[in-house]
Amino acid sequence: MDNKNDKLIAAISEFKKVTEDNAIKIHGKSYFTVGTRLGVARRALGSSLDLKDTIIHHDDKRVIVQTEAYIDGKHVSTGMAEEIRTSSMINKTSALENCHSSSWGRALAGAGFSNDNIASAEEVSAAIVQQDRQLQEALTELSKCSHLGSYQAWVQKNKPLFLKLKANNPLAYNGFLEKFNAAKNKLEQVGVINGGK
């Protein structure tokens, strides 16, 4: 085994030691953020780790980024990611940055900085929010509130759903809060919630 592989094996061992405390549980499975993967990799490998990015596609609809991971000049893995610009409020302004981070996370997971789940906690949470019809329906209903009473009724009706989401998937809950706050701000601007104040 050469020195480069020894470095990677040691770095993966370090990742396995420190990550269970940093794991995010989503539907009973452990996932890790890109930040955790990158932090451990940088601490363990320092400047031996080189992540080289290529923008594969970039237009007004979507972004695709590929990341090649190298240790001491030796290729160890590849990661790719795609972001749709209209998929979230954040992607409307920062799709390239999100795609870049996701691509790093996948390259690091491919190099061994993961458990059995290649997807990052951020990716899984985003997918769950997009797929959860109840949340989407709740947000649609929120936008239709026409007065303070209908808003308060909406909150009471949907509170159990939001509490369940917060307990089971904190990252998805944070994504939902972003959309909720945007919708609530619109209702405040037109005077539904606060009388236009």
Q: Where are the alpha helices (DSSP H) in the chain?
A: 3-19, 34-45, 89-110, 121-131, 133-143, 148-168, 170-189
Please report the DSSP string for 99-152 in residue order: HHHHHHHHHHHHTT-SSS--S-HHHHHHHHHHH-HHHHHHHHHHHT--SHHHHH
Rg (CA), the chain: 20
Sheet harboring 74-84: ordered strands across? 49-58, 62-71, 74-84
As a whole number of angstroms, the distance between CA 105 and CA 97 comes to: 12
As a whole number of angstroms, the distance between CA 195 and CA 129 comes to: 31
pTM score, whole prediction: 0.61
Q: Domains of the chain: which residue ranges?
A: 3-128, 132-189
What 3-state class would DSSP assign to 2?
Answer: coil
pLDDT in tens, the chain (197 residues): 455 558 888 888 888 777 667 777 766 677 777 888 888 899 999 999 999 999 999 999 999 999 999 999 999 999 999 999 988 778 889 999 989 998 998 899 888 887 665 555 566 566 666 557 778 888 889 988 888 889 999 999 988 888 888 877 777 788 788 888 888 988 988 888 875 44
